[in-house]
Amino acid sequence: MATFDFDLVVIGGGSGGVRAARIAAGHGARVALAEEHLLGGTCVIRGCVPKKLFVYGSHFAEDLRDARRFGWRVPTPEFDWITLRDNVLSEVMRLEGLYRQTLGNAGVTIYGQRATLSGEHEVTLDDGTVLTAAKILIATGARPALPPIPGTDLGITSNEVFHIDHLPERIIITGGGYIANEFAGIFNKLGSKVTLLNRTSTMLRGYDEQIRDRLIQISTLKGIDIRFEAQIERIEKADDASLNVMIANGEEIPTDCVLFATGRLPNSAGMGLEDLGVEFDPVGAIVVDERFRTAVPSIFAVGDVINRVQLTPVAIREGHAFADTEFGGKPRSVDYDCIPSAVFSHPPLAAVGLTEAQAREQFGGAKIYTSDFRPMRNVLADRNERALYKMVCHPETHRVLGLHMIGPDAPEILQAAAVAVKAGLTKDAFDDTVALHPSMAEELVLMR
């Protein structure tokens, strides 16, 4: 048998790669991990974690205003971007250190360099070091996609937004997905004038239409300028260092910052995979089977680079399943059905299962139940913002096919409810459950 330096070399230190490395090492494998940046990947370093902390920070704008209605004498608040930015980045570095410590405790050898494949069992680091391994796992994630227009270098992406030196007075965000809507809410609450440009007529594709429409309505009332079918043609720098954004209808919009949130592409190029016979789909995602094997028997891939579901918990499950299957003697696959998701907009929305349109298409009909209400806190705060919960059921069996929510704490509430949907419970099971009063979550068992 061939002798290798390691049983497994993981390229990429994000959620999927770290989990795979740690679990494989726990099964007794000799594991190395190469990461050219910081450990934690998109989620910890430039995605979920810093984004959620910015969401928390921006919520204080409403919280401080609402506090006055609850009897608190709150002086006029002042916001300091640098304080929030630096505290968030400090937390990111703390978490990065914990990832490094966890891998070290598990016995994983960490190489802080870029790695490319120089053979089916061989990885070459930037300094020329060659590592051999029985198996190689690609977990390099994805990167922001940029439109092919003049002036893209004048804008930023979600990679850079957490590092900017000041809060822009005006910001244009281009995109219609969760990243665009989340940052639109963040910058709007922090005081920026936000213009959201979506090149199509649909925002947040994949979410239920009623929930999407409610977010658009609320966002517009909060002062976010949302424009559909607005295609940017080019960006130019003005004499005063501001930017001019030209859109396809001939309009010119002045701004201080342009944030591109136009999707993400798999990080699969330039690694030597093509030369080895690894296959890719049209967007560059690595093609794998149910056990995350590529066309090359010794090379595997998990996470955003395979572009199945670009969510951190999914990458973690894929990495864990890979390690258990290949090194733990416990073959496992990942169930991609009924995955809950959320958009941390203002207010947040969350969903699991089929939308109304999907249910009607699959089953020829659907039973729909809703609760459209004003949360108690909003009533006393004198805010007219309403929450909307929606349940999609099978037209005959009444099994709950989907739950869709927009309102305060919607993601926190949905996580528990997603268990019921995954378990295949019916509307009767919800009706038979006593409400927890007073709460927003009780609306789940009161829908008619």
Q: Which residues of 377-416 are buried (b: 16+ CB within 10 A; e: fewer)?
A: ebeebebebbbbbbbbbbeeebbbbbbbbbbbbbbebbee
- Asked whether residue 2 carries a pLDDT value surpassing 90, the answer given is no
Percent of the chain with pLDDT over 90: 98
Q: CATH 3.30.390.30 region(s) of the chain?
A: 347-445
- Residues contacting 107, CB < 8 A, separation 6+: 25, 31
* Catalytic-labelled residue, pool 59, 166, 320, 437: 437
pLDDT of residue 330: 94
- CATH homologous superfamily of 347-445 equals FAD/NAD-linked reductase, C-terminal dimerisation domain (3.30.390.30)
Beta bridge partners, 67, equal none
Predicted TM-score (pTM) of this structure: 0.95
Mean pLDDT of the region 132-147:
97
pLDDT of residue 421: 97
Q: Is 363 helix (H, G, I), strand (E, B) or coil?
A: helix
CATH class of segment(s) 6-144+265-327:
alpha beta
- Asked whether residue 393 carries a pLDDT value surpassing 60, the answer given is yes
Using 50, 70 and 90 to split pLDDT, how confident is the model at 411? very high
Q: Please report, in range form, the residues annotated as the binding site for NAD(+).
A: 175-182, 263
Q: CATH 3.50.50.60 region(s) of the chain?
A: 6-144+265-327, 152-262
Q: Please report, in range form, the residues annotated as the binding site.
A: 52, 175-182, 263, 304
Using 50, 70 and 90 to split pLDDT, how confident is the model at 97? very high
pLDDT of residue 173: 98
Using 50, 70 and 90 to split pLDDT, how confident is the model at 293? very high
37 is catalytic: no
- CATH architecture, domain defined by 152-262: 3-Layer(bba) Sandwich (3.50)
pLDDT of residue 323: 98
Of 40, 338, 59, nearest to 182 by C-alpha is: 59
pLDDT of residue 67: 96
